[in-house]
Structure 1
């Protein structure tokens, strides 16, 4: 394995992966753990991944591992918004976004984060989640409808009306 090449790649994408994982989980420590595990899995497969899209592969691992974690614990009452982890330039905006995302199911949250925060296409989102484009479209529509009715403060924040 080319350690320098992997290290440069990991250093270049780690911050974006942690941001996405944090939006998915609402927990900075869990987000960092998910990214660390994804980087280890990419490192183990680096010779096969380096010429492809290792970032997409890492993102897919983060999303799938988070969904697996959530499924194992969905019977527990989990508070996903933790005010102590606000580290954005605009804490109020970060808090509104995190509260809004916490109202979505893990699948809907994954679609919203990948489509609207990571700016992936429907195809890229579908590939990352291992689902069809139709599923991405329906999850996105359901999530946006839920946000329109359940998180009007988010719409107020961006200047849209429900």
Structure 2
């Protein structure tokens, strides 16, 4: 009788904990959602700042198209005149002769730093790399402090760079574990 009462009490106490554990998203899911939200913000920011675009074609072993998008430079501290343009988006599409299509899209800040890199094969996203830069005294530092990279197969790598020169970056690897059906 005493054992049954303890068993029933433990079941009643463990039930809400198990239900809560199933509702808490995994670390992978949190980082994955955060990466996609930040990537969407970068795309929107760059898309809103585009002032003009140029396209060029090359046909060697297939067709290659390069489109660059430019935005007006916002700061005069770069040593540029007020109406200078800076590269903010670069899209390179290669149509190979054997039928493969490869597209690389790079998004840059107006300061010239790479923010987001995407790689598509056959119009399917296979790699997404987002780099974040710290600000110090209102100026963006040139060394990144955080980089997240997603690759096809639901693998995610998070790299955190430390402030010191001698400190190595820390890498964290995540993958989405699918439960057997």
TM-score higher than 0.5 here?
A: no
Looking at both structures, which has the greater relative contact order when contacts are Cα pairs under 8 Å and sequence separation is at least 6? Answer: 1
TM-score by length of 2: 0.24
Larger proportion of strand: 2
More helix by share: 1
Structure of higher CA gyration radius: 2
